[in-house]
Amino acid sequence: MKTGIPPLSWDEQLERNGGSIVQSRHWAEFQDALGHQPVWQQEDDYQWLGSVWTSHGLRYLVCSYGPVLAKGADPAPAVKSLIDAGRQLGVDFIRLDPQDHRFAKELKAKGARHIADNQPSHTQVVDLTKSLDELRGDLASGHRNLINGTERRGVSIAQVSDRHNLNKFIEMLKDTARRSHTVFQDDYYFQTLWSTLQPADVAKLYVASVDGQPVAGAIFLDCGKTRSYLYAGAWQEKNRQAKASVSLVWQAMMDAKDAGMTKFDLWGIAPTDDPKHSWAGITRFKQGYGGAQVEYAGTWDIPLKPQKYRLYTVYRRLRGRQ
């Protein structure tokens, strides 16, 4: 186990094995800037990046969408490495969301608990190697009509890099949170993300405007050949009239294709087509771009201090969490 920022060779291996932005070297720099100590291990067959968190009197190691395995590799050494690191750090438990389903059997054998998603266990991924005509053909008819009518509705879309537009985006996030009864990260989180990842050309902010006034915005993160759609907000009343969000995401997708990227990860959909699921609406929005549904192994906790962890599970149940 090592602490601090991984070496420059880290992302080369990550891209080779299909790892996520939240396992990248730049993400380690972002977590470090937030005050979460980066912890990592890199071997020929696997790599993982984690960060140490504290909450409600607990200290735990978070490994989002990791470990990342080489093709055909055994997951057991990676899990052992994580457990050894957790014990060395003295944390109460380890939380991980491996994308690779090969981890499930090994995690069960180590006494891990499968819990409610921390990172989404289902996502929608668009193949950008398809031709433009194919990508347009994969669109839902409603999305296609809105994209074709972008200029007619007076909507303009731009990638921006200034703090003024970032602050406008944060205000749009707050309006979205108020009206949808959801919770986003605080201002400091997004300011830190921007100061860390935008100069590295990882974070891209797109803003859709009508008559020079912003109505919707989104932050996308680039890693290797994949662009991911992580954060979105809008002035809800204005955007309901302008219907700008569909065109905004399409523009970011087309720019990613033009830049030579091969995947566009829409980052999180509902696990089923249940119309009552809390993510049903955003899932219809994301699946309107076509692509394929991808399922990961879900979120797992590995208790290292069982008695303390049992008290924590009681607390989670009282809060309505699985």
Instruction: Provide the β-strand partners of residue 53.
Output: 60
Name the residue type at position 125: V
Whether 103 and 185 map to the same domain: the answer is no
Whether 311 and 162 map to the same domain: the answer is no
Mean pLDDT of 316-320: 73
Q: How many angstroms separate the CA atoms of 50 and 166, rounded?
A: 27
Q: How many angstroms separate the CA atoms of 39 and 88, rounded?
A: 11
pLDDT above 60 (res 322): no
The pLDDT tens digits for 25-40 are: 999 999 999 999 999 9
Which pLDDT score is estimated for 86?
98
Domain containing residue 35: 2-119+296-318
Whether 280 and 173 map to the same domain: the answer is yes
DSSP calls for 219-266: EEEEETTEEEEEEEEE-HHHHHHH--HHHHHHHHHHHHHHTT--EEE-
Instruction: Provide the β-strand partners of residue 217.
Output: 207, 233
Whether 217 and 288 map to the same domain: the answer is yes
Whether 156 and 275 map to the same domain: the answer is yes
DSSP annotation of 7 reads P
Which pLDDT score is estimated for 276?
87
Whether 280 and 300 map to the same domain: the answer is no
Which pLDDT score is estimated for 315?
74
Give the CATH number, domain containing residue 36: 3.40.630.30
Share of the chain above pLDDT 90, in %: 89
Q: What is the mean pLDDT of the chain?
A: 95
Do residues 309 and 94 make contact, with C-beta atoms less than 8 angstroms apart?
Answer: no
User: 209 is written with which tokens?
Assistant: 């405007």
Whether 284 and 171 map to the same domain: the answer is yes
pLDDT above 80 (res 316): no
Sorting pLDDT into bands at 50, 70 and 90, what band is 321?
Answer: low
Structure pTM? Answer: 0.94
Whether 96 and 156 map to the same domain: the answer is no
Q: How many angstroms separate the CA atoms of 315 and 321, rounded?
A: 9
Higher pLDDT, 70 or 279: 70
Higher pLDDT, 180 or 307: 307
Share of the chain above pLDDT 70, in %: 99
The pLDDT tens digits for 128-161 are: 999 999 999 999 999 999 999 999 999 999 999 9
CA-based nearest residue to 248, from 176, 174, 160: 160
Q: How many angstroms separate the CA atoms of 176 and 178, rounded?
A: 6
The pLDDT tens digits for 34-77 are: 999 999 999 999 999 999 999 888 999 999 999 999 999 999 99
The pLDDT tens digits for 197-243 are: 999 999 999 999 999 999 999 999 999 999 999 999 999 999 999 99
Whether 183 and 208 map to the same domain: the answer is yes
Do residues 26 and 199 make contact, with C-beta atoms less than 8 angstroms apart?
Answer: no
Q: Give the count of domains, the chain.
A: 2
Do residues 186 and 207 make contact, with C-beta atoms less than 8 angstroms apart?
Answer: no
Whether 128 and 272 map to the same domain: the answer is yes
Count of C-beta atoms within a 10 Å radius of residue 121? 19
Whether 77 and 161 map to the same domain: the answer is no
Whether 286 and 300 map to the same domain: the answer is no
The pLDDT tens digits for 89-133 are: 999 999 999 999 999 999 999 999 999 999 999 999 999 999 999
